[in-house]
Amino acid sequence: MEAGKPEKLIVNGRRLDGRRPDELRPLRIKAGVLKRADGSAYIELGKNKILAAVYGPKEMHPRHLQQSDVAVLRCRYNMAPFSVEERKRPGPDRRSMEISKVIREALEPVLFLHLYPRAVIDVFIEILQADAGTRTAGITAASVALADAGIPMRDLVTGVSAGKVDGTVVLDLMKEEDQWGEADMPIAVMPRKKRITLLQMDGNFTPEEFRQALDLAFKGIDLIYEAQKEALREKYLPSLQEEKGEEK
């Protein structure tokens, strides 16, 4: 047995943190947490604490990087040095650059980038505390931040992970399950049309397990999607109601 690995990750149908296989970790999302960003959001998912900020659309500099017909979406995923137990070396590394790329590709399909030619939209995702599933939670937060910035979107993008632990298909892996489980499948979706914008997999599923994991992921996405919309309602509904009251 590997050092530090628990003998069993699922005991009597319960995971190490007490969840059933189909349960999400505790979730909290808040929109508009940074005054100096055009849009922002904060998410807690289990022990994950993640901040997302959006700047733009604004003119792209240097100009030779401009696209004449669309805006450029730039995403930067970064793990703070104190976000993990063993202090991480500051600055970008190969993993963060790869995750930045897949996050950009997951978000691009919902944005009307053609409305802002020669512009750039910058998305920053800062992992303050990490406990597995940071790329999908980062996508969830970034999507809320983009909406908070007032950027036209076809839908939000919602992310979650599914996987296999002790031979059981589970939703929303925590660190120990991600480290010692048999499979991990991050997924991001445009919920209204059920369109997948990100699907990765580390490990192996049988065809039946893959279908189970996909079903579980979509159930989790429905719950997270509601939390995303509620975070935006919580910020904007009071001001809209005030405006209506003043009009009367």
* CB 47 within 8 Å of CB 35: no
Q: What pLDDT, on the 0 to 100 scale, is given for residue 150?
A: 97
Q: Maximum CA pair distance of the chain?
A: 70
Q: What is the pTM of this model?
A: 0.93
Structural domain boundaries of the chain? 20-235
Confidence of residue 1 (pLDDT cuts 50, 70, 90): very low
Regarding predicted confidence, which is higher, 42 or 245?
A: 42
C-alpha distances in Å from residue 159, one per residue of 60, 118, 197, 223: 28, 29, 9, 11
Give the span between the Cα atoms of 169 and 183, in whole angstroms: 9
User: What is d(CA 216, CA 210) in angstroms, rounded to the nearest whole number?
Assistant: 10
- What is the tens place of the pLDDT at every residue in 8-40? 999 999 999 999 999 999 999 999 999 999 999
Q: Indicate the DSSP class of residue 144.
A: H
| CA separation for the pair 196, 231 (Å, rounded) | 22
Q: 38-67 as b/e, with b when 16 or more CB fall inside 10 Å?
A: bbbbbbbbbebbbbbbbbbbeebeeeeebe
Sequence-distant (6+) residues with CB within 8 A of 140 are 29, 43, 45, 157, 158, 159, 160, 224, 228
* pLDDT of 246 above 70: no
Helices (H), the chain: 94-107, 134-148, 175-180, 207-247
Question: How far is residue 220's CA from residue 41's CA, in Å, rounded to a whole number?
Answer: 20
Residue 58 φ/ψ, nearest 5 degrees? -145, 165
- Which CATH architecture best describes the domain 20-235? 2-Layer Sandwich (3.30)
Evaluate the omega torsion of the peptide bond into residue 57 and state whether it is cis, within 30 degrees of 0.
yes
Tell me the pLDDT tens digit for each residue of 135-181. Answer: 999 999 999 999 999 999 999 999 999 999 999 999 999 999 999 99
> CB of 107 within 8 A of CB of 123?
yes
Write down the residue that tokens 């997951």 correspond to.
Answer: 106
Look at strands 119-129 and 72-79 and give their pairing: parallel
β-partners of residue 184 are 163, 202
Rounded mean pLDDT, 193-221: 97
Rounded CA-CA distance 110/102 in Å is 14
